[in-house]
Amino acid sequence: MIYSNVTSIFTDIKPDEPVFLRNLTVYPVCLSSENGLDVASVDEVMDNALGEFHELDTPQIGEIRFGNRGDKPVLMLDGEEITGSLQNRIIAASTFIESRISANIEVICAEEGRWSELGIFKTGYCSYPGIRALLSRHGRKENGVQKTIWKEIERKLTATQTLSSTSSMHDIYNNLQEEVDRYVEDFESLNHNTSGIIGVAGGKILGCDIFHSPSIYRKFENRLLRSYALDAIEHRKPGSRNCDTTDFLEEIKQVLQKKTRIGKSRHFSLKSSSLSGQGTIYQGQIIHLSAFPK
């Protein structure tokens, strides 16, 4: 499968006029494609009792199992949180699960201090860009990535003055929920052509998420905005750098074009001297892509 075939929707991609949510600036990314592909989010299938996570027969920190009983494929974003069971985890990489199948999912622990039963798995938050950038930079299977994530959560706990008996990312969100709510309290939705966002705060690009179509993007909009807001809390001071979101998107396109082939895996990674990212492919099209500056 040649990469130029799957990157065609990125030909005319560009940031739209920004939306200001306190000190978080959100640049909509607009694509003209809407091919009718209908996917479900994890929240949708679990809320309708059509999907379920559970531990493996022999539980592993880095892997859990998901059963999709619905008629739609399920898209999971890198960094989405799954809470409960033996410990909270986050999805290690953008993942696409076909309808009516079960599959093992690579995960990263987001709660270092617990390995004890706490009921069934439930959906949680989406990891803030700082964690997702580390996932994309270090790779899913790189030695030490788990410790790197634990270290970042500890840093965030300290920076936000959050107490957590189990060093849980979930506790950071719970502690700052009212603050995050203020970012989105008057927000309804970006324009109907929006297929992704670039988040900027403190003169720095936090990251971006781009989807194959506006309808897929809208399923994740609120969760993603809250995740970017959590990072923006740490970047309230105006930055001195000039953030060029157009150049950032151009760099993503260039990195994609340099990759000549996609392997058999539906997951792909992006790496250059200035950014890292990852994404997932279905039916020859990029369904979701996330990227973060280094």
**pLDDT tens digit sequence for 146-171:** 999 999 999 999 999 999 999 999 99
The whole-angstrom separation of Cα 120 and Cα 52 is: 9
- The dihedral region occupied by 236, where left means phi > 0, alpha psi between -120 and 50, and beta the remainder, is alpha
CA distance 95 to 73: 10
The residue to which tokens 């809208």 are assigned: 218
Domain count, the chain: 1
Q: How many CB atoms lie within 10 A of CB 45?
A: 23
3-state SS assignment for residue 46: helix
Give mean pLDDT, residues 260-267.
64
Q: Which residue has the higher pLDDT, 187 or 258?
A: 187
Q: What is the pLDDT of residues 101-135, one digit of tens each?
A: 999 999 999 999 999 999 999 999 999 999 999 99
Question: Half-sphere exposure (CA, 13 Å, Cβ side) for 221?
Answer: 22
Tens digit of pLDDT for each residue in 55-79?
999 999 999 999 999 999 999 999 9
What phi-psi label fits residue 193: left (phi over 0), alpha (psi between -120 and 50 degrees) or beta? alpha
What are the structure tokens assigned to 168, written together? Answer: 């849980």
CA-wise closest residue to 253 among 5, 38, 7: 7
Q: How far apart, in whole angstroms, are the C-alpha atoms of residue 207 and residue 231?
A: 10
User: What's the domain range around 127?
Assistant: 3-293
The token duo for 143 is 């030695």
| pLDDT (average), residues 216-224 | 96
Give the model's pLDDT for residue 4. Answer: 47
Would the pTM of this model clear 0.85, i.e. be above it?
Answer: yes
The tokens of 252 are what?
């993503």
Per-residue pLDDT, 8: 64
Task: Determine the Cα–Cα distance for residues 127 and 169; give it in Å rounded to an integer.
Answer: 8
